[in-house]
Amino acid sequence: MADVFEKLVKDGGPLGKHMDRAHGYFAFPKLEGELGPRMQFRGKEMIVWSLNNYLGLVNHPEVRKVDAEAAAKYGMGNPMGARMMSGNTAKHEELEKVISKFVSREDTMLLNFGYQGIMSCIDALVNRRDVIVYDAEAHACIVDGIRLHMGYTYAFKHNNVEDFEKQLQRAEKMTEKTGGGILVITEGVFGMDGEQGILKEIVALKEKYQFRILIDDAHGFGYMGPTGAGADEAQGCQAGIDLYFSTFVKSMGSIGAFISGPKAVLKYLRYNTRSQIFAKSLPLMIVEGMLTRMEMVINMPELRAKLWHNVERLQTGLKARGFDLLTLR
């Protein structure tokens, strides 16, 4: 009989096999100083490309003030308990209403973390009779959520509408046997390359096939589209996207997540999403800080304008220096 730890120590896993030479430099670097485009690394000022702070809210004076006041007012522990038990507050419900209106959905449920949240939502949405069809380059959190599914799954080639329809047809045939339904999962903006998902093309196929769509728009929420409501707003297909998921980590400079959609479905998720039922509620200091962030995103379009100005400036400069940039949608 082998020691269960033996394989872990022997090869380290797909990423861990590089740990000896990567740790502290390529992986787990220690960045010091104020969060920003330039930070201290090993005693030198370096340009930082990897921060999640799309709209610059992390160091905005108003945001820092509200965060500090909320921390002093509530501390990290308030409310103490899962949302279903003793962790529900008027502030949590207020934030959910603000987000629902912003993303044009009937209802919203706050989630403690994005990764665990979407995994648990996928688990709650489908049973063994249902079939999942998903983009082959979906984020790891989606892949891990799909791994929890005990039914059939079909991956379509990244952003390939022809292969998507092919996999949809396979899923349709399978549901004729199982009696289940089809859940399609993709991303609004893919975090690894910045490319938008084929949301509009997927929605168009609803006229031909019966399925529901869940999108992870962690990288599009807050700045994509005319009001910043996300990639589906940018593509003009909000009404066709059944469930909209995003985090507070990228544009908002905070922590936590949410899922929005039909009121009846959200009611079900509140009572069946295990990562929320059996976990402490999102701290009030984060919720209050998010209310301020949402107010700013809604009422300060200049935040998005500055981001797009920076994007254009960077892309123009890179192209002028001979870099071959990905053509984005």
Q: What is the DSSP string of 106-152?
A: SEEEEES-HHHHHHHHHHHH--TT-EEEEETT--HHHHHHHHT--SE
Domain annotation covers residue 298: no
Give φ, ψ of 138 to 5 degrees.
-65, 155
pLDDT of residue 86: 93
Summarize pLDDT for 285-305 with one digit per residue, the tens. 999 999 999 999 999 999 999
Q: Is the pLDDT of residue 230 over 60?
A: yes
216, 187 contact by CB (below 8 A): yes
240, burial (CB in 10 Å: exposed 0-12, middle 13-18, buried 19+): middle
d(CA 97, CA 107): 7
Domain annotation covers residue 206: yes
What is the CB neighbour count within 10 angstroms for residue 230? 30
pLDDT of residue 282: 95
Domain annotation covers residue 290: no
Domain annotation covers residue 203: yes
The identity of residue 198, as a single letter, is I
Are residue 129 and residue 278 in the same domain, yes or no? Answer: yes
Are residue 24 and residue 149 in the same domain, yes or no? Answer: no
Give the count of domains, the chain: 2
Are residue 168 and residue 277 in the same domain, yes or no? Answer: yes
CATH number, domain with residue 109: 3.40.640.10
Are residue 155 and residue 211 in the same domain, yes or no? Answer: yes
118, 269 contact by CB (below 8 A): no
Are residue 105 and residue 47 in the same domain, yes or no? Answer: no
Domain annotation covers residue 278: yes
Domain-terminating residue out of 265, 282, 299: 282
Domain annotation covers residue 80: no
Give every CB contact of residue 24 below 8 A, 6+ residues apart in sequence: 30
Q: Is the pLDDT of residue 329 over 80?
A: no
Are residue 102 and residue 44 in the same domain, yes or no? Answer: no
Are residue 136 and residue 237 in the same domain, yes or no? Answer: yes
pLDDT of residue 327: 62
Residue-range definition of the domain harbouring residue 35: 1-51
d(CA 39, CA 13): 31
Are residue 130 and residue 18 in the same domain, yes or no? Answer: no
Give every CB contact of residue 309 below 8 A, 6+ residues apart in sequence: none
For residue 16, give Cα distances in angstroms to 27, 67, 140, 289: 10, 36, 17, 36
What average pLDDT does the structure give for the chain? 94
Domain-terminating residue out of 15, 34, 51: 51
Are residue 140 and residue 26 in the same domain, yes or no? Answer: no
Q: Taking the chain, what is the end-to-end CA distance rounded to the nearest angstrom?
A: 53
Are residue 37 and residue 107 in the same domain, yes or no? Answer: no
d(CA 107, CA 264): 9
Query: pTM to 2 decimals?
Result: 0.94
Give every CB contact of residue 263 below 8 A, 6+ residues apart in sequence: 106, 107
pLDDT of residue 292: 97
Domain annotation covers residue 145: yes
Rounded to an integer, the average pLDDT of 244-270 is 97
Domain annotation covers residue 91: no
Which H/E stretch holds residue 46?
strand 44-47
